[in-house]
Homo-oligomer: A and B are copies of this chain.
Amino acid sequence: MVEIEVNDLVEIKKNGRIYRGIVMPHHAFSSKNIILIKLENGYNIGIDKRNVKIKLIKKGRKHKKLEKEIPYDEKKPTIALIGTGGTIASYVDYETGAVHPATTSQELVSAVPEIFELCNVEAKVLLQKLSENIVPKDWVKMARKAAKELNKGKAGIVISHGTDTMAYSGAALAFMLKNLRGPVVFVGSQRSSDRPSSDAFDNLAAGVKVALSDIGEVVVVMHAGISSGKCLIHRATKVRKMHSSRRDAFVSINDEPIGVVEDGVKFLSGYRKKSDGKTIAKTKLNENVALIYYYPGMKNDDFERFADGKDGIVIAGTGLGHVGEGLIKSIRKLIRNGVPVVMTTQCLNGTVNMNIYSTGRKLIKAGVVDGKDMLPEVALVKLMWVLANEDNVEKAMQRNIAGEIKERRLITPISPPENK
């Protein structure tokens, strides 16, 4: 039997389908049971090796691992690079066109050599997950790992993460990590690193620079525009993925970005400085919550079924924080049973204000908690954390804990029309 090696052209038969492509090198985060191939249409896929037939079509050029030596420089700070399933970085072999995902910090130098001029990097693989599969328990692992590395003397933490739920994870760590000794920086990539338009390198390089700064917050560093290499530093509790594919998908909502990274890091607004003490990870969570998105036609029964048995509810209401009046009965019942209900707005931008219209006033009277200018998703993550860590849930939800509330209430009240 011929041994199949990286760069070989193969045909793989699995469940009656045939896949033809070039075998690609393994990845720090790909399971050993998976064979990665680059299809002729340019897509990379991973196929479970069990129950497959692999046929060698053409032997490929011998794949050489990069062996460039990275001297550890004790005069430079060291950061921890924590992989959760995101592509940390890859380098393209221009002879074959194949992507070589960097599996070690040694290989990383080839992708983004400027990083090693700035610092030493210790890369660790914590999880191997597509980000839509990240669950709250994974946030706990990330927070503990980040705190541990900071307390061991790392200057900062870079967490590479899939972009789908990166903002949820970022918000979770922002609530969990107290007294940060250094920056915790989430980076991701909207485009695979084998495309010329990939943002992986820019985001990683910018993320490392931010991890070496004096920020004592959890942030997301991602591309600012679609044409330049400029990246923005977003507060993790104020950022949202606002495009399914563009590189500039991440946008700060109801807040300015903390800063911008071009050649260096430039700050645009205030931020919390890093602390000298020990970083604490308060990782207790109550996952038994739900986010309910209101829409016309939602019935009391819909609301009640979804809310049933939960310890807390976040509503993404309309406008200034409304739902159809008929639902208020169900909401009141929940609150009387001790379940906090937090109102946010599906407009995403702007703040909740339940004082303006009669529906809002009825919601306040029923005991609904004002979610202020929190994003619905951030309010959900906060509610998980607050339920497990605070005695007065209602008060804590309305208090700024990690930059998630940044109210600039209008000085002039918005005068209500009697009807809208």
Contacts and interface: CB of A to CB of B under 8 A. Distances in A.
B347 A242 contact: yes
Nearest to A347: B244
A415 B349 contact: no
A302 interface: yes
Given A244-B319, A349-B243, A384 B297 contact: yes
B316 A420 contact: no
Interface in A151-183: 162-165, 168-169
Contact of A420 (B87, B358, B417): B87
B359 A132 contact: yes
B44 A418 contact: yes
B244 A349 contact: yes
Interface residues of A, number: 101
B244 A345 contact: yes
Interface in A251-306: 287, 289-298, 302, 305-306
A123 interface: no
A243 B348 CA distance: 7
A106 interface: no
A130 B359 CA distance: 8
Contact of A287 (B30, B46, B297, B352): B297
A55 interface: no
Contacts of A135: 296-297, 324
A203 interface: no
A377 interface: yes
A263 to B, nearest CB: 27
A325 to B, nearest CB: 5
A360 to B, nearest CB: 9
A350 B133 contact: no
Query: How many copies of this chain does one complex carry?
Result: 2
A352 B244 contact: yes
A137 to B, nearest CB: 9
Contacts of A358: 45-46, 130
A293 B319 contact: no
Contact of A306 (B132, B200, B306, B325): B306
A16 interface: no
A44 B414 CA distance: 10
Contact of A295 (B162, B306, B320, B380): B380
A294 to B, nearest CB: 8
Given A168-B295, A296-B168, A359-B130, A418 B249 contact: no
A86 interface: yes
Most chain B Cβ neighbours within 10 Å, of A134, A241, A296: A296
Interface stretch (A113-121, A185-193, A329-337, A389-397): A185-193
6 contacts: A30-B418, A41-B413, A164-B420, A168-B296, A243-B349, A292-B293
Interface of A: 24, 27, 29-30, 34, 36, 41-46, 85-87, 90, 99, 101, 128-136, 139, 162-165, 168-169, 188-189, 191-195, 200, 241-246, 249, 287, 289-298, 302, 305-306, 308, 316-326, 345, 347-353, 356-359, 376-377, 380, 384, 410, 412-420
